[in-house]
Every structure is written in structure tokens, then in C-alpha cells.
Structure 1
């Protein structure tokens, strides 16, 4: 009798388990938190990484070959336009400038001598011309001979030739003086190039040379930037860069955590073939007190807002190659592909695939499309 009851109890237990399993499989619907999709607006924020840069970056070099004698600036220094940054050894250029100046002064003296000679030759020609006219008058009256007249004509011709030679000499001396003056200007310019001065107000970010180094034209001595024109060179994906316009406000977050206001200053129209990104330069509205060129930063460009069906970002997931959400329809979860629009980090605008009023599952992880569910509203987003 006891054995019979044991069998009955065992069969009863199995029946209960089968019933529970059947209920679980065919009738049980676990509760899931849902929210109704609704019409709304989502701020259009375009995000991208970047680095701090300056719109104006200058390499300070020399225009003549020479040895660096002394440096008056170092990296990290703020300098003003025209400030002396370095000096080259000017022994040779100073000597050449002095020699050229002396040659220019000597050529001026030569001009003065040639001018005096021309004045004398002009006076001799005027005297010979006066004598010729007087002798010509008395020759007509028969008071002097033909030989005397011929001598007066020869004297006039000689005086005229002397004046022409003196004028030519003066012209040559003037040309020599002009060339000497140009040589003096050139020598002074070369000597001035031994003084390396700041081309603008700015910050020296790199010093590439030391005292005693031999530098040549084009070799960098300093690198400096204009700190009044700082921006962040930001990389923006080409799929969203169409929303960006010059003048749009932005928020710049430096790696140290400080946030500063910015503004889109320039949009590069050349896309990187590898990353499919474009450079967008976002200028600082307030220059940070502490910064470093090439410092990493994150930029959020506030590109307006978009109307549409709004859902929580947590409801989105990827199934296969499609992005979408799970909606509750007739007590079952159903995958719904959606085409998304802008997102503010918490909410997303669904441009296609959803209608306002549909129940969207907030946390779809672990829920399969087609499974029974029981929608529960008011869950955390």
C-alpha cells in the first residue's frame, strides 16, 4: 500500500512540474519596463575629438648663415612683435656694412669732385665761346688773320669736348655712387638679419637651437603661435558634418576637465580617405589660462534641434546589421528597425520605423523578438 502511495505522489509531482513547465513555456509572460514613444524635440549635438591648435603658427628662422651668439627667449615665453629673440655672431656682417658705408661715402666725394670739374669745364667752354664770337666780329672787319680765327675755333671745340668729358665723368661717378649706396643698403640689411626678432605677438612653444649652433636660412630656431587665435581642430564624421555650419555654438572640454565655450570657425572640405572624417575648427570664445598645443579635447557642436518620435537611447540595440528597438505588440516583443536621427546622449529621435504611442521596451538585453512579455509602464529610463 505504501509503495502505491509513493508512486502516486511521484506521478503527482511530475505532473505539477510538467504543468509549471508548460505554463512557463506557453503562457508565462515576464514583466518588462516600457515607455510610450512620443513626439518631441532632441537637441542636435555633433561630437568629435580634437587637439588644441593655433590658426597662426610661425617658424622663426634666420635669413643668413651664422653662429648663434646668444638666445634671449625660451619655450613657454610670451613675446611681443619686434622683441629681440636671438643674436648671431655679427663680426663679418658688421665689417662688410662698415666697408660698404665707407665706399658709399667715397663715391659721394667723387661725385663732388666730378661736379666741380664739370663746372670748370662749363666755364672754360663759355669763355672760349665768348672769345670766338669776339674774334669772329673783328675778323669780319679785317683786324685779325685767318690763322687767328682758326685758333679761336679750335679753342672753342676743345672747350666743348672738355665739358662733354666732364659731364660723362660726372654721370659715371653718379652711377658708381648709386651702386655703392645699394651695396651699403644690402650690407646693412645683412647685418640687421643677425638680430632675430619676433614676427608677431605670441607664445614660443619650441626652441630648436642652442647658443653656438650654426644656423642656415630656413632652419628653425623657434616655433611660436598666436595665442589670440586658438581653436580645436576637431575630427567630425562625414555622415553628420552636413549639420555643422560656421558660427554655431560649441562646448570644448579639455582633457583636464575644464569646459569652455566655443564657436565653429572653419569647416574643411577635404575628407580623410581612411577615416571618412573632416576637420572642423572650433575657436575658443575665451582663451584658457592653461593650455598646450596638441592637447587633446572633446568638442560638442550645438547644431540646433530636430522634431520627431523620441525614445530613450537605452532602448536602442543592434540585431544583425540593423539598429532598432523592441516594441510590445499583442503581448509579445517584436523587433522594429528604426532610422535614427540626432541624440543628446539620453534620448534619440527616430526618423523612421516608429509611431508615437507605441510601447518601447526600455532595456531589451536578454529579451528575444517574438517572446511573450507583460508590459509595465513607469519603469526607470
Structure 2
């Protein structure tokens, strides 16, 4: 009986057991690999700053207290908009003085005209000499000139009134305010700085050893790390003198209109320009460049994926240098002859199986 019971137990356990299931693994990720590149020829790599294409220092031509300030830094203004007003009490006094001078000059002119008409009649009657008529005519002409001078003084004063209400010369943004209401405005002293709201360019300095390789219209790759933008501009201005810029030749690079959105004057930019001389450059040839798109960012570290043993993805930490357009220099962590993964058709992680396309 015991033997029979044991047999039933073995049969029961055998019925409850099932074949062992194979461990499922993820299919390998198809990847594309490449080797680092290099510049191979001399290139111009400098830093610059974004600036407005049009900038104006707003001041007034008269001296006086600023009675009203209508804007502050960061305000957007339109052409003809009142920016600030300057006291005009002195001008009002000058205009009153000019008006009085006009009254006096016109009175003198009327008297001179009467004398001229009377002596003209006397001369025709041969009761006055030609010399007397000439003297009276000179007095009359002087009186006319005096009256005209007085009227022009009043016109000048009236024109000065326009400078007591300073308006915006074009649409833009107030980038600096150097005075407030109550401050004294002096002629030529910038009170506000206005930057055009449309139109940007990059200002940079080119060393004298490379300025000969640059010309108007040369394409330039501009990288703005702060906003993660890369685009191509063109060299628009080259200053042929470096006498006031410490040996650096000022250059202006236009930014395409479709890239204006999100730009602010003062942003720092990295500029990469291929040399038109195409001369070999040992230093440039030694640079190890990889696509920016291949770089992996994890917390404060940067790396790239390589292929290790058994076709497994390996995340390797690297140290990066300058960015040149869509490529970035690798300072350490990757050799010139080592391959790395450029892109993948799926999600990569350390130890993921890969297959090279």
C-alpha cells in the first residue's frame, strides 16, 4: 500500500510540473558606426556676441532737467513714440525775447520804409540828392535784414522746442537708461540706448594672422550654446583697421531672418569659418571631431556609445572642447582611429545588444 501511495504522489507531481520556458531577450538594436573626423585644413574659430543690426544712442541737443521719462530698460517702442521730455523754460524766455526783437525790428523797418518812400519822392522832384537817397536806401535794407534776422532767431528757438520732446527714431527695444526724471540732460550725453527689434548680427574680432583668409560673403557657422542653436550666416563687414581693437580686426556676420526668434543682443556665439586658402594645418588635422548628435548627456557627464565585446553597447565618458557647427571636438576619451555609434534605430543603454547596419 505504501508503494502504491508513493507512486500516486510521483504521478501527481509530474502532472503539476511544466517544461522550463526559455529566457526572452531583446532583439539587437541596429546601429550606424563611424570614426572621428578632423578639419584637415586651417579654419577660423573665434568667439563673438549677438548684437542688434541697428543701435542708436538717444540724447538731446539742449541742456535742461528731464521733466518726464516715459520708458525703462526692456520696453518696446515704436517710431515717433515720446521717450522723455526736457524742461523748456529757457527756450520760452528766448522765444519771448525773439518775439520782442521782431516787434522792434519791424517797427524800425516801417520807419525806414517811410523814409525811403519820402526821399524817393523828393529825389524825383530833385529836392534830395542822390547821395541822400543812397543813404536812406542803405538804412532801409539794413532794417529789412534786421527784421529777417529776428524772425530767423525765433524759427531757431521754435526748432529747439522739438528737442525738448525726444521721440524714438525707429521701432526697437530700450536696452539702457542712463538718466531718470530730475537729472540734467546735456547735449550729446546718451540718455537712452535704443536697439532695433528686428535684425541681428554677430560681432567678432579676427586675428591679423587670419584676416587675409576672410572676404565679404564668406559663410560662417554660428553656434549659440545657451539656446542650443546652430545656423549659417555670412560675413557682411570687415574693418580693415585694428588700431583701436587691440590687434583684432572687427567683423560683422549677418544672421538669417528666419533665425531671429529667440535671439537677444549680448548672447555669446562660437564662430567657425573655413579658410578660403585651404592650407593644411597640423593643429587642425589633430583635432578629433564627432557629430554633436552622437553625444550623450547624463547629469553633468558627457559620453558616446561604442561597441564592446559580444556586440554590446558600451557608454564611454569623454571630455569635449569647442563646437564647430554641427561637430564638437573630443579632448579625451576617444582615439582618432576608434569607432563610435553615430545613430541607432532603438534605445541604447550599457550592455544593449547591437548589430551594425
In the superposition, the TM-score normalised over structure 1's length comes to: 0.56
1:243 corresponding residue in structure 2: 213
2:236 corresponding residue in structure 1: 265
1:175 corresponding residue in structure 2: 145
Do structure 1's residue 288 and structure 2's residue 288 form an aligned pair?
Answer: no
2:185 corresponding residue in structure 1: 215
CA contact (8 A) 1:313 1:345 kept: no
Deviation at 1:87, TM superposition (A): 0.9
Do structure 1's residue 299 and structure 2's residue 277 form an aligned pair?
Answer: no
| Alpha-carbon spacing, 1:272–1:47, altered in 2? closer, same or farther (3 Å) | farther
Residue correspondence of structure 1 range 98-177 to structure 2 within 5 A: 98-127=96-125, 129=126, 156-157=127-128, 163-177=133-147
CA contact (8 A) 1:50 1:299 kept: yes
Q: Distance in 1 between matches of 2:245 and 2:82?
A: 44
Q: Distance in 1 between matches of 2:260 and 2:231?
A: 8
1:203 corresponding residue in structure 2: 173
| Alpha-carbon spacing, 1:121–1:78, altered in 2? closer, same or farther (3 Å) | same
SS at match of 1:63: coil
Deviation at 1:111, TM superposition (A): 1.8
Deviation at 1:270, TM superposition (A): 4.8
Q: Distance in 2 between matches of 1:306 and 1:176?
A: 73
Deviation at 1:198, TM superposition (A): 2.9
Deviations 1:31-74 (A, max 9, x none): xxxx99x9x99687533211112454322112121000112333
CA contact (8 A) 2:176 2:193 kept: yes
**Equivalent of 1:94 in 92, 95, 106:** 92
Q: Which 5+ residue runs of structure 2 have no aligned equivalent?
A: 1-33, 290-323, 330-334, 339-355
Deviations 1:305-333 (A, max 9, x none): 95989988549xxxxxxxxxxxxxxxxxx
Q: Distance in 1 between matches of 2:248 and 2:137?
A: 74
Deviations 1:206-251 (A, max 9, x none): 0111111112122221012345553111244555544332202223
SS at match of 1:193: helix
| Alpha-carbon spacing, 1:362–1:223, altered in 2? closer, same or farther (3 Å) | same
Deviations 1:170-190 (A, max 9, x none): 123123213312322332233
CA contact (8 A) 2:204 2:252 kept: yes
SS at match of 1:59: strand
2:7 corresponding residue in structure 1: none
SS at match of 2:62: coil
**As a proportion of its length, which structure holds more helix?**
1
SS at match of 2:50: strand
CA contact (8 A) 1:52 1:233 kept: yes
| Alpha-carbon spacing, 1:104–1:200, altered in 2? closer, same or farther (3 Å) | farther
| Alpha-carbon spacing, 1:311–1:98, altered in 2? closer, same or farther (3 Å) | closer
CA contact (8 A) 2:40 2:285 kept: no
Greater C-alpha radius of gyration: 1
CA contact (8 A) 2:221 2:325 kept: no
Q: Distance in 2 between matches of 1:223 and 1:256?
A: 25
Q: Which 5+ residue runs of structure 1 have no aligned equivalent?
A: 1-34, 130-155, 316-341, 348-359, 364-379
Q: Distance in 2 between matches of 1:177 and 1:301?
A: 66
Q: Distance in 2 between matches of 1:203 and 1:75?
A: 8
CA contact (8 A) 1:43 1:304 kept: no
1:253 corresponding residue in structure 2: 223
| Alpha-carbon spacing, 1:161–1:346, altered in 2? closer, same or farther (3 Å) | closer
SS at match of 1:76: coil
Q: Distance in 2 between matches of 1:176 and 1:55?
A: 48
Please tell me the root mean square deviation across aligned C-alpha atoms, in Å.
Answer: 4.2
Q: Distance in 2 between matches of 1:188 and 1:231?
A: 40
Q: Distance in 1 between matches of 2:137 and 2:244?
A: 72
Residue correspondence of structure 1 range 13-32 to structure 2 within 5 A: none
